[in-house]
Amino acid sequence: MSLAIIGMPGDRPLAPRVTRFTAQFWDALAEGRFLVTRCKACHQKSFPPQAHCKSCLGCDIDWIELGGRGRLYSATRVHAGPARFAAALPYSVGIVDLDDGVRLATRLLGNAGPEHLDQPVQLVVTRYQDGPLFAAELVAPDASIP
């Protein structure tokens, strides 16, 4: 499944550290795919991607693609932040429980915020000039995702 890609102005406020291991995640994200690691022994999914299973400590992992649909578990709106995020103020961040069984923290786009707890969201790719990030946006409960 391909996530929507939203163009963003300028460079990422805080670019991620890309390693040989995480490059697969960032390359897939640039293509609109959201990957996580999964232990081949116990099937535990991990995000951020992990070279070793956090559940059984196994080191035989593979990469799987998730759909990106979930629910907003927690959120806050940031009104004052570091200088590198000043252009985005105010912005919202939240914790999303993906339908695929992964919980992650992410920026929330649009009007999503603390008043939207337990509402459906969809991950999207935010494409900056220097690379991708991901975020979540609200979706209608019965919306079909391409």
Return the pLDDT at 143. 60
pLDDT at 74: 98
CA distance 134 to 123: 7
Take residue 60 and report the two structure tokens written for it.
């035989």
pLDDT in tens, 119-132: 999 999 999 999 99
Residue 142: count other Cβ atoms within 10 Å of its Cβ.
6
Helix (H), strand (E) at residue 124? strand 120-128
Task: Give the tokens for residue 67.
Answer: 């759909």
Residues 72-82 pLDDT 10s: 999 999 999 99
Yes or no: say if 123 and 3 are a contact pair by the CB < 8 Å rule: yes
> What is the per-residue pLDDT for 140?
82
- pLDDT tens digits, 81-118: 999 999 889 999 999 999 999 999 999 999 999 999 99
Token pair for 108: 């929330």
Mean pLDDT on 9-16: 94
**DSSP letters for 12-55:** -SSPPPP-TTTHHHHHHHHTT-EEEEEETTT--EESS--SS-TT
pLDDT at 70 over 80: yes
> Quick one: tokens of 18?
């890309």
